[in-house]
Amino acid sequence: MQFSPDGSRVIARAGGGTVCVWEVATGALDKSLDAGRRNSAPWMSFEEEVSISSDGHVLAATERAADGSGEIGLWDLASGRRSSTIPTGSKAVIVLVGFGEADATLIALPDRHTVSVFDTQTGKIRATWSSDPKDSIDPIALSPDRKTLAFGVNRHGPLQIMDLGKGSTRSLELGGAATSMVKASVTQPQSDSVARVESMIFSRDGRTLYAGRFRAVSVVDLEHGVEKPMLTLPSDARSGHLALLSVSSDGTRLLTEMKGFLFPIFDLTTGHVLTHGAPRVSVTRAQVPAFIEGKLGSFDGWGRVVYQGRVAYVALLPQENMRVGGETRQTSSYAWASATSPDGSLLALKLDALNNLTLWDAKTDGWIDLLESTVPYGPSLHLNFSRDGKTLAVTEKGIDIWDIPKRKLRYRLGGV
């Protein structure tokens, strides 16, 4: 599920393959596009099946032809008319990366070891790059201006940097991860795990590439092709690989995630960690200053609950090192799902301990508010912000459309 660039429509794909387009303002179904049989796999996200050009005029969707081969259908989004079809000739699962700088080019993986740039007018390949058929291209990132593509192979370097205009590709080697920062009490990971690249993201100006590693982030100056000092977690932080979520609109902060347990924020001007971002649930007899309105899934109440026969306060603490007084029981909280607003300022979390959604300030690692749903959300939901960050779509057996400024559920779309 995703929003059109202007935020006026929300788009999702039904199980049979139909692409549905709804008006965000009214919740009315605008149009249904017959996208044939789905060409997908359980590990794929919706954005890897359906892509919208940056001007919102063209929609692309993967599908299966009658002979079982993969193809990409293109539609004029305003009229709902199918404009053309791009055959790939491959019977593998197709992964869409996105449109290029204009809707004249579309980047896709026709199979897991090949990147191709297609001409949407002719269907021909403008540029391509392939690795060994046993390999898998992953991770992959498109620059904000849609002129540059970065990708790894089998989640390792060297990283490949493709100029989408010229069709040329160059390689960049990455240095070793910061294994010296691993706590002495933790078993040293295997070298393969340390070398792994979890995800990548470009800076806002597209001149720097960040690569999530084991407890660290590699920083690559793309203009000069050199690696800068790594961003590393402190030695007492949890161990794991960092996925990169967003760069703030002013380019000074990097929001990352470690398997839902940590949401570290790095200061890109100094290289320091601003916060670990480790939410914790605390049940205490002492009144607490933050998060006393969290509804715990294991308790019947808001804020104050009965715990071991006594009235207690429930707090969701925004930072790992925060503590509350009194007789306290404190446990880690885990995020089943998360989404970041496009400007990198707002983080929506579905924490395992809470039935509702939590809005988090991604600049200061502070709680903002709750989105209180009448239906408890489970672990299989998907979250997506509109481009202006004012609307949040939540998919789980339907699509809930939230008005973020008003903290209000507008309506639910069924049948998806």
Q: What is the CATH number of the domain that holds 38?
A: 2.40.10.480
Cβ(256)–Cβ(265) under 8 Å? yes
Average pLDDT, integer, range 367-376: 75
The verdict on 39 and 147 lying in the same domain is no
86 residue type, one letter: I
User: What does the alpha-carbon distance between residue 256 and residue 263 come to, in Å, rounded to a whole number?
Assistant: 5
The verdict on 207 and 81 lying in the same domain is no
Please report whether residue 320 resides in a domain. Answer: no
The verdict on 102 and 137 lying in the same domain is no
- What range defines the domain where residue 8 resides? 1-106
pLDDT digits (tens, 9 = 90+) for 18-41: 899 999 999 999 999 988 877 776
Please report whether residue 297 resides in a domain. Answer: no
User: What does the alpha-carbon distance between residue 232 and residue 254 come to, in Å, rounded to a whole number?
Assistant: 12
Cβ(43)–Cβ(18) under 8 Å? no
* CATH assignment at residue 158: 2.130.10.10
The verdict on 85 and 152 lying in the same domain is no
The verdict on 145 and 270 lying in the same domain is yes
Which of 277, 311, 335 terminates a domain? The answer is 277
The verdict on 28 and 139 lying in the same domain is no
Band (pLDDT 50/70/90 cuts) for residue 7 is very high
pLDDT for residue 159: 94
Strands annotated E in 88-242? 95-99, 105-111, 114-119, 125-130, 137-142, 148-153, 156-163, 168-172, 199-202, 208-212, 216-221, 226-232
Cα torsion through 262, 10, 82, 128, rounded to 10: -20
Q: Map residue 48 onto helix, strand or coil.
A: helix
Which of 249, 277, 305 terminates a domain? The answer is 277
Which of 242, 277, 312 terminates a domain? The answer is 277
User: What does the alpha-carbon distance between residue 278 and residue 266 come to, in Å, rounded to a whole number?
Assistant: 14
Please report whether residue 293 resides in a domain. Answer: no
Cβ(215)–Cβ(240) under 8 Å? yes
What one-character DSSP code corresponds to residue 190? P
Band (pLDDT 50/70/90 cuts) for residue 367 is low
Phi, psi of 76 (to 5 degrees): -80, 115
Residue 412: its H or E element: strand 408-413
Please report whether residue 68 resides in a domain. Answer: yes
Residue 14's alpha-carbon distances to 1, 31, 75, 396, in angstroms, are 10, 13, 17, 13
Q: Map residue 5 onto helix, strand or coil.
A: coil
CA angle centred on 194, ends 338 and 45, rounded to 5°:
30
**Residue appearing with tokens 């590699």:** 218
Long-range contacts (CB closer than 8 Å, 24 or more residues apart) made by 135-141: 136/112, 137/109, 137/112, 137/113, 139/197, 139/198, 139/199, 139/200, 140/97, 140/109, 140/115, 140/200, 141/199, 141/200, 141/201, 141/202, 141/209
Residue 194: its H or E element: helix 191-195
Tokens for 321? 């090192």
The verdict on 143 and 234 lying in the same domain is yes
Whole-number average pLDDT of the chain: 82
pLDDT digits (tens, 9 = 90+) for 137-157: 999 999 999 999 999 999 998
Tokens for 385? 């912000």
The verdict on 268 and 135 lying in the same domain is yes
Question: What are residue 283's DSSP bridge partners?
Answer: 314, 329
User: What does the alpha-carbon distance between residue 288 and residue 326 come to, in Å, rounded to a whole number?
Assistant: 10
Please report whether residue 351 resides in a domain. Answer: no
**Residue appearing with tokens 């259908």:** 73
What one-character DSSP code corresponds to residue 94? P
Please report whether residue 152 resides in a domain. Answer: yes
The verdict on 150 and 73 lying in the same domain is no
pLDDT for residue 286: 54
Band (pLDDT 50/70/90 cuts) for residue 45 is confident
The total number of structural domains that make up the chain = 2
Please report whether residue 337 resides in a domain. Answer: no
pLDDT for residue 331: 63
102 vs 179: which has the higher pLDDT? 102
Band (pLDDT 50/70/90 cuts) for residue 73 is very high
pLDDT at residue 81 greater than cutoff 90: yes
Residue of 141, 73, 67, 137 whose CA lies nearest to 109: 137
Please report whether residue 89 resides in a domain. Answer: yes
Residue of 394, 393, 387 whose CA lies nearest to 341: 387
Cβ(399)–Cβ(353) under 8 Å? no
117 vs 302: which has the higher pLDDT? 117
The verdict on 69 and 144 lying in the same domain is no
Cα torsion through 289, 295, 299, 305, rounded to 10: 40
Farthest CA pair distance, the chain? 71
Q: Map residue 260 onto helix, strand or coil.
A: coil
The verdict on 17 and 66 lying in the same domain is yes
The verdict on 257 and 165 lying in the same domain is yes
